[in-house]
Amino acid sequence: MTYRPNDLTLDVALDNMHELRSPTSSTCTYDVMSVSTEEDMHMAQWREDAPCLRRVGKRLQRALGSNAVQRVLSACLLAPLVTVFLWFSPAFATATICSFVVSACAYEYSWMVHRIQFRFLALTECPSNAVPGGSMEYFNDFFSKNGDTKDIEQGEEAHQEEPDNEIRHAMNLQDCVITPIANRYFAGAQRFTVVLLAIPVAVAISAVFQALLLLMPPSFRESDFYTFRWLYSLTTDFVCALFALHTPNRRSAFVVLVEKAVFSFITVHSGMCPINELSCGNILSATDICAIGMLIVIIFHISLRKQALHTFVYLFLDLLGFIYLIGTMSVFIGFIDDSRRGLYRKLLITLLYVVWASDTGAYVAGKVLTRVGYTKYHAIAPHVSKNKDYEGTAVAVLWGIGTIFLVSEVIGVSAISIEKSVIAALAVVVGRMGDLFESLIKRAAGIKHSGSLIPGHGGVLDRIDALLFASLVFSRYYTVLIT
């Protein structure tokens, strides 16, 4: 049975439709139509503006992703934070941050060494017909993405001889020392595994460190470092364990732990000695501590059952990193002196700003010269880095000299003008050599940056490569002048 409305029902429905369409209808009905009209207008306006908003968003994304903007943002954030921290923090806090930096740099260096070892051993262990193309182009392409792995096609694998197990493991750059443990016991959760294992490792290393501190002379108990020794060791050892467990293999993890331990004892030594003194009558000097650490690394490598060529390459690169990182950072940490806190803080701030300003000056000079169409650059070592040229170095020296005068005036560091100028110029030039040295290591490893911890700058080692070398000149000469 079909429902058929009567005439009265149709009349009422028609009247209601007329009221809805009539502009003189009730306020409520008119407001509904108005809201609907306004929504349509807003929707039309949004459709019109959407392409423009998308273009603005893409431009903003490109701007924030550019190296120049990231450099500016990082500098605006890091420079004030580091300055305030150095000026107000106690000596042990400065030593703690330096220890974090050492652990991060040792971790980044271990991965660069891992790449260099793979590239070198691939040449010696794989015959020319086993490498696609018969040259190193295959391996250069393999590392071209700075950390991305690239699977070897099955057709190529069929023609390759069985490589050494360590070379095969090196082909997956996402694996680290704890990857087998994470895959076997924790369903591949590497980060969870690292944190879980870092806790007992840090506690064990801290216990050994505290036991060895009992052998220190009585003067050590008068330093601020003695008061905060447990806080220092637990925090720095935990951070070091996190980095060590992210290294590519057990050998690298062990070397990172040894380097950090040596740096900690050098820090204790510097806290008992006057500013910039590597030896002050204690049982061991900073040089002796470094030598002991290097001897431990040598014994460790020789005890491993590796081929002679493997052992030589690994040992040479690890000892080079030991001298490069711990040797230079031991000079830097030598600034710290509990008895002259105001002086060492001023020296560290001056050194940091001179190095940072010179690096920024060289970067700005390169951008400006490129913008004005200058093309006759004179590279210092084009086979190492085409971006390090004499033009940028000259501007860096000028910025460094200007900065040392400005900072010295602001924080009250007194010295003769000509001496300040010479020291700043030498520090900048030697710092550029440190930059080139790290570029050489990165070129050998086939990467552009040592890491990605600092946006716009790459890794921690990318940021302090010039600082490590500049501190050698700055500490030995500028400190003598003002003390």
Residue 235 has pLDDT above 80, yes or no: yes
pLDDT of residue 57: 65
Structural domain boundaries enclosing 141? 129-162
Residue 399 has pLDDT above 90, yes or no: yes
Q: Residue 130 — very low, low, confident or very high, per pLDDT cuts 50/70/90?
A: very low
> Higher model confidence: residue 302 or residue 122?
302
357 in a structural domain: no
5 in a structural domain: no
247 in a structural domain: no
398 in a structural domain: no
80 in a structural domain: no
Mean pLDDT of the region 89-112: 90
372 in a structural domain: no
> Higher model confidence: residue 46 or residue 445?
445
414 in a structural domain: no
- The tokens describing 69, both together, are 């903007």
- The tokens describing 63, both together, are 């701007």
Contacts of 274 (CB under 8 A, 6+ apart): 280, 337, 339, 340
Residue 383's SS3 state is coil
Q: Residue 146 — very low, low, confident or very high, per pLDDT cuts 50/70/90?
A: very low
First to last CA, the chain: 111
Out of 267-276, 403-412, 425-434, least confident range: 267-276
Count of structural domains within the chain: 1
What is the residue whose two structure tokens read 């690292």?
Answer: 194
Greatest Cα pair distance, the chain, in angstroms, is: 116
Mean pLDDT of the chain, nearest integer: 77
Question: Amino acid letter at 408?
Answer: S
149 in a structural domain: yes
